[in-house]
Chain A
Amino acid sequence: MTTKLFGEPVQRREDPRLLTGNGRYLDDLGREALAAAFVRSPHAHARVRDIDVTAALDVEGLVAVYTWEDLPERVGRALPLLIPHPALTHGRTAYPLARDVVRHVGEPVVMVVAADRYAAEDACALIEVDYEPLKPVVGLEEAVQGAQLVHEDVPGNVGAHLVQEVAAADGRGAREAIETAPHTLAFRLDIERSASMPLEGRGVYARWDGRDLRVYSSTQTSTSVRMAVAAALGLPLPQVEVIAPDVGGGFGVKIVHPWPEEVLVPWAAMTLGREVKWTEDRREHFISSAHERGQVQYVRVGFDDDGRVLGLDVTILHDHGAYTPYGIIVPIVTSTQLLGPYKPGSYRVEFTAVYTNTVQVTPYRGAGRPQGVFCMERTMDKIARYLGKDRTQVREANFIRPEEFPYDQKMTFQDGRPLIYDSGNYPEMLRMIKELIGWDSFEAGPGRGIGIGCYVEGTGVGPYEGGHVQITSDGRVHVSTGLTSQGQGHETAFAQIAATELGVPIERVSVVTGDTRRFGYAVGTFASRAAVVSGNAIALACRKVREKALRIAADALEANPADLEIADGVVHVAGTPSAAVPLSTVAVLANPLRYAFDEETAKATQFAGAAAPDRPPVAEGEEPGLEGRDYYSPIRSTFAAGMHAAIVETDPDTAEIKVVRYAVVHDCGRLINPMIVEGQIHGGVAQGIGGALYERMVYDQHGQLVNASFMDFLMPYATEIPHVETGHLETPSPLNPLGVKGAGEAGVIPVSAVIASALEDAEGIEVNRMPISPSELFELRAARMG
């Protein structure tokens, strides 16, 4: 039996639980808890003049009603601005409950706690809030005019403005390079809003026992929620524990914290001395959590006869919604990751992030990359069309070559570190994707087109993650890491790493994530970072444990540690299988005991004769137990890459759009589990097709989200998603011990660009705005006909 599991398509160990309804999600917990519900603003922009709760007080089962004025000073403070940036000159965050002005439909105004959610909603319906409506700012055009302000003290609605420029080798700026380029093009590209939309919304459940607070949250970062909650409630950190139970998807929205409810529900539990739970419903998720993607991008490009980009000048207008709790990560990621696998001669990018009276914008899977890739890939297609060249030829002319790594793009990435690509092989990847989709033999015709899109994704951002590994005297291996899981398959992938490093059967390995009782230091699960950062931390922790196990076993076997190996959970002398000691025994020996609790542990007690009487039972520099803890802190991100291609067919009469084939070649360095990577890609592509053809947030002029339900927000079904063909390329990362790169966001990133490319090919019209519906394709056709 092999214990070399790294790289094998091991079936996901969490699936039997999750697929048979045995997952334990937030709402499965706390059945006896009181329920919270919120009165949320029906106005996009209004001043709260008065709140009259009297009618609600008679509702049977009502326990408490809270407005901002009821909150203690510490609890009522504006929520933290999580990632400050010098360019974010006017960062603004919301209050847990509206203080005086509401700035989007759905902003919480009153919190109600009752015996159950029915009573809580009944009470909400009876609370009368007197609003003085203010004129809302909706849409980028209105925001940049600045005639109406979202925040009175933010002139022009501009929260942030940032220019980054990478000059040409001769020192000339991008604008100058474009002026003198043989050819130039200029165009505008639009991407509309969508949202993470996990099937499980947010939720918080809190228990206070008079001394300690336990909080369960459907979050992507339990350690940070813990610190934020402790700070807001003025509790010593050791008295707060936060647990992420099974989480039904995150996709970015749950990395934001603390949400108003994450502060208010624990506070109410402490104040009332009762368990309190809040489970977000779908409408709340649409209007009260976060959106992303909405961006307008103006592009100017200068290029030579081969299509090589000499200068690229991009101006981005970013709709940040009402608040900026997560800083300006999204437009920064767009600005930097727009470059993809290319090396333009010079590059200037400028973004302006403006406030609107809509739901706040925070990262959603891809986090600004889909917009940037749409920008760059549309540019490549337009250059090819202008020059009459094959689209892949223009891309190839601009690629960074394999021998140029590490390649410095001379910008600052989202982690504040230099944008240096660690490894990659883009020409080989292009060859693979062309072969997989049959690029060279494809024959376009009316209503049938092929498209391509390339991207590079900085993954595995720091600052760090940690891993703790313990082997107990029953031979079981307990792995824990602080970051959370939302269905990615960490219980499998991390167990594969541990089983491989320690030489134990995977059945003996269990993995716990996102529980601050087990591991207190972590950052969170976002930015395709879990496998890279926690995966390496766990591997390093395993290596510590392994070294200790070999040391103890060497003593027991009277052998040299260098001659030992571990297989199937047993340490033995290489080449002499009979000279062996199981890890369970090693674990016993590692922990000198006064008291035995079974036959095995009796071997470690003080009269068993194992210990040398002239040395302390725990040697100097040693710790009891067979366990190890280590951290991995990457010097900078590692850069995964991918190329997607699709064939689409359009109906000549109905303008319906069908994705006939979809192919992905992906490079995330060494694969831990190819099946999990493929699953991540499939899900990402599905989400990408949603963004390309179906999903959008439709606000009317009053700032009402008119499609805030799954009936009108068109998340695609399985019936809308084609089979996804995948190919893997493995260029190991030189930056981390395992050589891995992240894979979580890969699938979603280039899809809008790919579909636009294929549609242009099929229809012979320019596609500069995504998503695109049959109705919009019909209008584009009509416009072409004049």
Chain B
Amino acid sequence: MKPPPFAYHAPRDLVAAVRTLAEVGGKVLAGGQSLIPMLNMRLAAPEHLVDINRVAGLDEIEVTPAGVRVGATARHADVEAAGVHPLLTRALKLVAHPVIRNRGTVVGSLVHADPAAELPAVLALLDGRVRLARWDGDGVAVREVPAADFFVGPMESAVEPDEVAVSAFFPALAPGSGFAFEEVSRRHGDYALAGVCAVVTARSAKVACIGVGPVPVVVELGEAWSDWRAAAAVVRAATDPEGDIHASAAYRGHLVGVLAERALREAAREGAAARGA
């Protein structure tokens, strides 16, 4: 469990980072909570690692009325402690364990695009976006990719090999909305067998499901429902879970229905309370 040889680069600013990546190729290292184990197990063998942890300014958490922009090296624990976005904060408490949250990054989790991870679902549910930077020969070129286009498949995001994900933007929840995140995992802090993140307002309901499809499964439920069980059935029908050694496909399908109902009820209750209804 030792990585194969690689060249290590530690640029100090974004220009150097994207230029290095353009020149040598390789993988970007941020929190390393997924990449380092893959290197150690020799499941990945990049010739170059571009470590962005020393890039100035990438660890910022920027809060505006429109939402929260999280820099590429901001740790789960820092974002959780900042408490600047209640749904994001709720989701972060479900991410692994404190030791992992102390090093792992929010943006890294999005780029890793594990279909059972919580943060991609939050980004997808909120219609957030990820900012990607690359060296275009003259300078840093930046593009914003909406969540709907960002998650391409299991462990696959829209980041091109020469791009660095520099930040992610999580839009603020509309006033008077309620939210919930319900999941079932085998052990505390494990990736979920299935999970449902829900936002309910006076006039809309929307969920994003994890662990039951190749990417977060977003279901717009439109007008607020009175029968959440029926709404959950719609959610369940929109998913196509697969079985693995931890849970059968049938169980995951059942679970997503149960969790959707729980999440929607909780979000609706919370939203109603927020509106004083």
Cβ-based interface call for B184 (8 A): yes
Give the distance in Å from the alpha carbon of A282 to the alpha carbon of B251 in the complex: 30
Chain B residues proximal to chain A, CB less than 8 Å: 1-5, 41-42, 184, 186-190, 193, 245-248, 250-251, 254-255, 258-259
Q: Which of B188, B190, B251 has the most CB of A within 10 A?
A: B251
Chain B residues whose C-beta falls within 8 Å of the C-beta of A719 in the assembled complex: 187-189
Chain A residues whose C-beta falls within 8 Å of the C-beta of B3 in the assembled complex: 118
Q: Are B245 and A117 in contact (CB under 8 A)?
A: no
Q: Are B188 and A653 in contact (CB under 8 A)?
A: no
Q: Across the two chains, which residue of chain A brings its CB closest to B188? A: A719
Q: Across the two chains, which residue of chain A brings its CB closest to B262? A: A653
Chain A residues whose C-beta falls within 8 Å of the C-beta of B187 in the assembled complex: 694, 714, 716-717, 719-720
Q: Per-position contact with B for A765-786: 1 when CB-CB < 8 Å, else 0?
A: 0000000011100110010000
29 A-B contacts (beta carbon < 8 Å)? A117-B2, A118-B2, A118-B5, A121-B2, A121-B4, A122-B5, A125-B4, A281-B1, A653-B258, A654-B258, A694-B187, A707-B245, A709-B41, A712-B245, A712-B246, A714-B187, A714-B246, A717-B187, A717-B189, A720-B187, A773-B186, A773-B246, A774-B184, A774-B186, A774-B193, A774-B247, A774-B251, A775-B248, A778-B251
Give the distance in Å from the alpha carbon of A653 to the alpha carbon of B247 in the complex: 15
Known A653-B258, A707-B245, A773-B186; contact A779-B251, beta-carbon cutoff 8 A: yes
Known A118-B2, A125-B4, A283-B41; contact A654-B255, beta-carbon cutoff 8 A: yes
Q: Are B251 and A655 in contact (CB under 8 A)?
A: yes
Q: Are A778 and B5 in contact (CB under 8 A)?
A: no
Give min CB distance, A287 to chain B, whole Å: 12
Give min CB distance, B9 to chain A, whole Å: 19
Q: Are B184 and A654 in contact (CB under 8 A)?
A: yes
Selected from B189, B245, B258, the residue in CB contact (under 8 A) with A698 is B245
Q: Which of A654, A707, A782 has the most CB of B within 10 A?
A: A654
Give min CB distance, A749 to chain B, whole Å: 23
Cβ-based interface call for A706 (8 A): yes
Give the distance in Å from the alpha carbon of A501 to the alpha carbon of B247 in the complex: 56
Q: Which of A601-660 contact B (CB under 8 A)?
A: 653-656
Give the distance in Å from the alpha carbon of A118 to the alpha carbon of B250 in the complex: 44
Chain A residues whose C-beta falls within 8 Å of the C-beta of B188 in the assembled complex: 717, 719-720
Q: Per-position contact with B for A124-157: 1 when CB-CB < 8 Å, else 0?
A: 0100000000000000000000000000000000
Chain A residues whose C-beta falls within 8 Å of the C-beta of B190 in the assembled complex: 714
Q: Across the two chains, which residue of chain A brings its CB closest to B97? A: A717
Give the distance in Å from the alpha carbon of A655 to the alpha carbon of B248 in the complex: 13
Chain B residues whose C-beta falls within 8 Å of the C-beta of A282 in the assembled complex: 1
| Pairs of residues from A and B, 8 with the lowest C-beta to C-beta distance, nearest first | A719-B188, A281-B1, A775-B247, A775-B251, A653-B258, A118-B2, A778-B251, A698-B245
Q: Are A714 and B186 in contact (CB under 8 A)?
A: yes
Q: Per-position contact with B for A267-289: 1 when CB-CB < 8 Å, else 0?
A: 00000000000000111000000
Give the distance in Å from the alpha carbon of A656 to the alpha carbon of B193 in the complex: 11
Selected from B41, B247, B250, B259, the residue in CB contact (under 8 A) with A773 is B247
Question: With contacts A118-B5, A122-B5, A717-B187 known, what are 13 further pairs, Cβ within 8 A?
Answer: A125-B4, A125-B42, A654-B184, A656-B184, A714-B190, A719-B187, A773-B186, A774-B184, A774-B251, A775-B246, A775-B247, A775-B248, A778-B254
Q: Which of B2, B4, B258 has the most CB of A within 10 A?
A: B2
Give the distance in Å from the alpha carbon of A281 to the alpha carbon of B259 in the complex: 38
Q: Across the two chains, which residue of chain A brings its CB closest to B1? A: A281
Give the distance in Å from the alpha carbon of A709 to the alpha carbon of B1 in the complex: 12
Chain A residues whose C-beta falls within 8 Å of the C-beta of B184 in the assembled complex: 654, 656, 774
Give the distance in Å from the alpha carbon of A654 to the alpha carbon of B193 in the complex: 11
Q: Which of A680-694 contact B (CB under 8 A)?
A: 694
Q: Which of A570-601 contact B (CB under 8 A)?
A: none
Q: Across the two chains, which residue of chain B brings its CB closest to A118? A: B2
Chain A residues whose C-beta falls within 8 Å of the C-beta of B4 in the assembled complex: 121-122, 125
Chain B residues whose C-beta falls within 8 Å of the C-beta of A654 in the assembled complex: 184, 255, 258-259
Chain A residues whose C-beta falls within 8 Å of the C-beta of B186 in the assembled complex: 694, 714, 773-774
Chain A residues proximal to chain B, CB less than 8 Å: 117-118, 121-122, 125, 281-283, 653-656, 694, 698, 706-707, 709, 712, 714, 716-717, 719-720, 773-775, 778-779, 782
Give min CB distance, A114 to chain B, whole Å: 11
Chain A residues whose C-beta falls within 8 Å of the C-beta of B5 in the assembled complex: 118, 122
Give the distance in Å from the alpha carbon of A656 to the alpha carbon of B247 in the complex: 12
Chain B residues whose C-beta falls within 8 Å of the C-beta of A775 in the assembled complex: 193, 246-248, 251
Give min CB distance, A411 to chain B, whole Å: 38
Give min CB distance, B4 to chain A, whole Å: 6
Give the distance in Å from the alpha carbon of A706 to the alpha carbon of B246 in the complex: 12
Q: Which of B41, B245, B254, B255 has the most CB of A within 10 A?
A: B245
Chain A residues whose C-beta falls within 8 Å of the C-beta of B250 in the assembled complex: 778-779, 782
Give the distance in Å from the alpha carbon of A655 to the alpha carbon of B184 in the complex: 10
Give the distance in Å from the alpha carbon of A281 to the alpha carbon of B1 in the complex: 6
Q: Which of A282, A655, A775, A779 has the most CB of B within 10 A?
A: A775
Give min CB distance, A669 to chain B, whole Å: 36
Give the distance in Å from the alpha carbon of A282 to the alpha carbon of B259 in the complex: 35
Give the distance in Å from the alpha carbon of A121 to the alpha carbon of B41 in the complex: 11
Give the distance in Å from the alpha carbon of A714 to the alpha carbon of B246 in the complex: 9
Chain A residues whose C-beta falls within 8 Å of the C-beta of B189 in the assembled complex: 717, 719
Give the distance in Å from the alpha carbon of A185 to the alpha carbon of B62 in the complex: 69
Chain A residues whose C-beta falls within 8 Å of the C-beta of B245 in the assembled complex: 698, 706-707, 712
Give the distance in Å from the alpha carbon of A118 to the alpha carbon of B1 in the complex: 9
Chain A residues whose C-beta falls within 8 Å of the C-beta of B254 in the assembled complex: 778
Q: Across the two chains, which residue of chain B brings its CB closest to A656? A: B184
Give the distance in Å from the alpha carbon of A775 to the alpha carbon of B245 in the complex: 10
Chain A residues whose C-beta falls within 8 Å of the C-beta of B259 in the assembled complex: 654
Q: Across the two chains, which residue of chain A brings its CB closest to B45? A: A125
Q: Across the two chains, which residue of chain A brings its CB closest to B184? A: A654
Chain B residues whose C-beta falls within 8 Å of the C-beta of A714 in the assembled complex: 186-187, 190, 246
Give the distance in Å from the alpha carbon of A712 to the alpha carbon of B116 in the complex: 14
Chain B residues whose C-beta falls within 8 Å of the C-beta of A717 in the assembled complex: 187-189
Chain A residues whose C-beta falls within 8 Å of the C-beta of B1 in the assembled complex: 121, 281-283
Give the distance in Å from the alpha carbon of A782 to the alpha carbon of B250 in the complex: 10
Q: Which of B186, B193, B246 has the most CB of A within 10 A?
A: B186
Give min CB distance, B12 to chain A, whole Å: 27
Chain B residues whose C-beta falls within 8 Å of the C-beta of A283 in the assembled complex: 1, 41
Give min CB distance, B21 to chain A, whole Å: 24
Give the distance in Å from the alpha carbon of A122 to the alpha carbon of B188 in the complex: 36
Give the distance in Å from the alpha carbon of A478 to the alpha carbon of B271 in the complex: 70
Give min CB distance, B137 to chain A, whole Å: 35
Chain B residues whose C-beta falls within 8 Å of the C-beta of A709 in the assembled complex: 41
Give min CB distance, B263 to chain A, whole Å: 13
Give min CB distance, B199 to chain A, whole Å: 22
Give the distance in Å from the alpha carbon of A281 to the alpha carbon of B245 in the complex: 23
Give min CB distance, B248 to chain A, whole Å: 5
Known A719-B187, A720-B188; contact A779-B248, beta-carbon cutoff 8 A: yes
Give min CB distance, A763 to chain B, whole Å: 15
Q: Across the two chains, which residue of chain B brings its CB closest to A283? A: B1
Give the distance in Å from the alpha carbon of A30 to the alpha carbon of B247 in the complex: 44
Chain B residues whose C-beta falls within 8 Å of the C-beta of A773 in the assembled complex: 186, 246-247
Give min CB distance, B19 to chain A, whole Å: 29
Give min CB distance, A700 to chain B, whole Å: 9
Give the distance in Å from the alpha carbon of A282 to the alpha carbon of B40 in the complex: 11
Give the distance in Å from the alpha carbon of A118 to the alpha carbon of B186 in the complex: 34
Give min CB distance, A170 to chain B, whole Å: 50
Q: Across the two chains, which residue of chain A brings its CB closest to B5? A: A122
Give min CB distance, B249 to chain A, whole Å: 10
Give the distance in Å from the alpha carbon of A774 to the alpha carbon of B259 in the complex: 14
Chain B residues whose C-beta falls within 8 Å of the C-beta of A281 in the assembled complex: 1
Q: Across the two chains, which residue of chain A brings its CB closest to B41? A: A283
Q: Across the two chains, which residue of chain B brings its CB closest to A121? A: B2
Chain B residues whose C-beta falls within 8 Å of the C-beta of A125 in the assembled complex: 4, 42
Give the distance in Å from the alpha carbon of A718 to the alpha carbon of B255 in the complex: 25
Chain A residues whose C-beta falls within 8 Å of the C-beta of B246 in the assembled complex: 712, 714, 773, 775
Q: Across the two chains, which residue of chain B brings its CB closest to A653? A: B258
Give the distance in Å from the alpha carbon of A653 to the alpha carbon of B236 in the complex: 14
Give min CB distance, A537 to chain B, whole Å: 40
